[in-house]
Copies of this chain bind each other. A is one copy, B any other.
Amino acid sequence: MTQKRIQILDAAAELIADKGFVHTSVDDVIARAGLSGKSHFYHYFKSKESLGHEVLARQFDVLAERGLAILREPTLEPLERVNVFIDSVVALQAERGGRSSSPFGALATEMAAMDEGFRVRIARVFRSWTEEIAGLLGQVKDQLEEDTDPLRLARFIVATLEGATTMARMKRDVSLMHGVATDLKRFVAGHVRRSLST
């Protein structure tokens, strides 16, 4: 029952990642997902817009599955988790050959511009990542320099990852993400108290 639904979601995700949401027609999705026609599609989704919402939500879920698992991994030191998280974003991007999506992508930008609902959803994704990381940093605040603001640092991390992703996609060069990740980890390390850092 949900099987076909997921097929549709996947087909749509691919098409959108490729051509953007606006340039993906319902008929495209129907063809790609192997549906019989409009009625078949509308049997599963109320509208194209709701499809878009679900695609975004699903994309976030996929990323969240990986990302949040890392950020909550109890066997790792909090700061180490942040590092592994950074690497995982890079890895995910590399593995998808630069054509990712998710909030750390461009599809989001396009969708946000055309629909306020989408924008809000994406803003929420940014926030949840930021808060998750900030929470983690807050846990180890005693290990950080006194003037370190966990929230601000978290925002910085998220912003940089997002920027690196976009840059990599535009330049068609995933490799540069590694360099950015290296510096980003160093940036985080720079907030660790000197007395503890060695």
Q: Within A86-127, which residues are at the interface with B (CB < 8 Å)?
A: 100, 103-110, 112-114, 119, 122-123, 126-127
Verify A123–B160 contact, CB threshold 8 A.
no
Say how far A126's CB is from chain B's closest CB, in angstroms.
6
For this chain, the copies found in one complex come to: 2
How many A residues have CB within 8 A of the partner chain? 50
| In the complex, residue of chain B having the shortest beta-carbon distance to the beta carbon of A16 | B113
| Partner among B22, B106, B112, B183 whose Cβ is within 8 Å of the Cβ of A152 | B183
| Partner among B113, B127, B165, B179 whose Cβ is within 8 Å of the Cβ of A171 | B127
Query: Can you show 28 pairs from A to B with CB atoms below 8 A apart?
Result: A20-B113, A20-B114, A22-B23, A100-B113, A105-B113, A106-B112, A107-B113, A109-B169, A112-B170, A119-B170, A123-B172, A149-B179, A155-B164, A155-B176, A155-B180, A156-B164, A156-B179, A156-B183, A159-B160, A159-B164, A159-B167, A159-B180, A160-B163, A162-B163, A162-B166, A187-B187, A187-B190, A190-B190
